[in-house]
Structure 1
Amino acid sequence: MSKKNVEDYLTEGIYGTRLPKQEERDYFLGTLRERIVIALTIGQVMTDKGIQILEENMKHYPDAKLLFNGKIASRFLKAEKELANKYNISYTVINNEAVETDIGAVLTYDYAIDKEAIFMNENNEDTPSEEDTDHKEKTGFLSKLKRLF
C-alpha cells in the first residue's frame, strides 16, 4: 500500500473519507445495490405505479427500511409512508442536492441480500425487468468476462 502524501490528506480533509463504490451509493440513495429489495424510479413513486409491488415486498421483507429521494414533494410520498407505517417499516428521506439520480424510493437492508431483479418493469408492474438489473455499476472484471461467454 502506498504512503499518503500531503494532497491525499488535504483531499480527505476537504471531502471526507472516500467510501467504496461511492457512485453506486449516490445512485441508490446511500445504499449499495446488493442490499436492495426493490428500487422505484421517481416517476413510479409520483404516479403510485409501484405501490402494489412495494407493498408485496414490505410483506415479504418486514425488517427492511425504506429510503426516499428528498427531491420528491412529500405529497407524492403519502401512500408510501402510510404503507411503511402499516407494516412497521422505518423510512428516511435522503436529501443530497449534489447528486443526480432517477431513483425515487428504495426498500433496503443494512446487509447484502443479492436479489437479482430489483427494478419494476413498466409494462408488467409485478415483474421486475431483466434489462434494468444490468445497471451501469455492473462494469467489473467478472461481468465483462461473463459477457464474453
Structure 2
Amino acid sequence: MKENVEEYLDRGLQGTPELRRAERQEYLTVFRERIILALSDKQVRNARIYEPIVKEMKHYSKAHLYVDGELNYTYLSKYVKLAQGMGVPITIVNDVSTHTDIGLVLAVDYAIDKSEILIDDEKFQRGLK
C-alpha cells in the first residue's frame, strides 16, 4: 500500500513517466521504430524536394509528416504543401526541449523497424527531384 501512495505522489509531482524520452526528442516526438524516413535540418533546407519522401508518402497511405518548427517555414513549406496535396497529416513540432538535427520525419503509428531511416548527403544529392 505504501508503494502505491509513493508512486501516486511521484506521478503527481513529476508527471507520468515517458518511454524513451531522448529518442522521442531526437526524432520530433516519434519512436524510431515507426519512422519511414527522416531528413536532417540541412537536407530540409535544400531548395529541392527529396524524391524518396514523395515515393514513401505514396507507398504508406497512413503516413504522418512531422516537421521541426524551429526551421524557417520557407524551408518547410515545400514539404507541407506536398503532404497536403497527398492527404498526409502534418504536425509542426515546436516543443522539443532539446535541440535535434532532424528536420523532418515521415512515420506511421505502428512499428516498421526500418534499418535505414537517414540518408547520407551523397544519396540525398542523387535523390533530388
TM class by shorter chain equals: 0.7 to 0.9
TM-score by length of 2: 0.84
CA-based RMSD of the aligned residues comes to 2.2
1:3 and 2:20 matched: no
* Length, aligned pairs only: 125
1:88 and 2:87 matched: yes
> CA deviation digits over 1:96-128, x for unaligned, max 9?
25221111000001110111110112112268x
Amino acid at match of 2:64: K
Q: 1:11 to 1:44 in 2, by over 3 A?
A: farther
TM-score by length of 1: 0.74
Report matched runs for 1:107-118 at 5 Å. 107-118=106-117
Cα distance between partner residues in 2 of 1:48 and 1:106: 18
Structure 1 ranges of 4+ moved more than 4 A: 8-11
Q: 1:90 to 1:49 in 2, by over 3 A?
A: same
Report matched runs for 1:22-33 at 5 Å. 22-33=21-32
Note the residue ranges of structure 2 that are not aligned, 5 or more in a row: none
Amino acid at match of 2:3: K
1:19 and 2:23 matched: no
Q: CA deviation at 1:4?
A: 5.6
Note the residue ranges of structure 1 that are not aligned, 5 or more in a row: 128-149
> CA deviation digits over 1:24-73, x for unaligned, max 9?
11111111010000011111111145521211111111210000111011
Q: CA deviation at 1:12?
A: 3.0
Cα distance between partner residues in 2 of 1:49 and 1:5: 55
SS of the counterpart of 1:40?
Answer: strand
Q: Answer 1 or 2: higher relative contact order, Cα 8 Å, separation at least 6.
A: 2
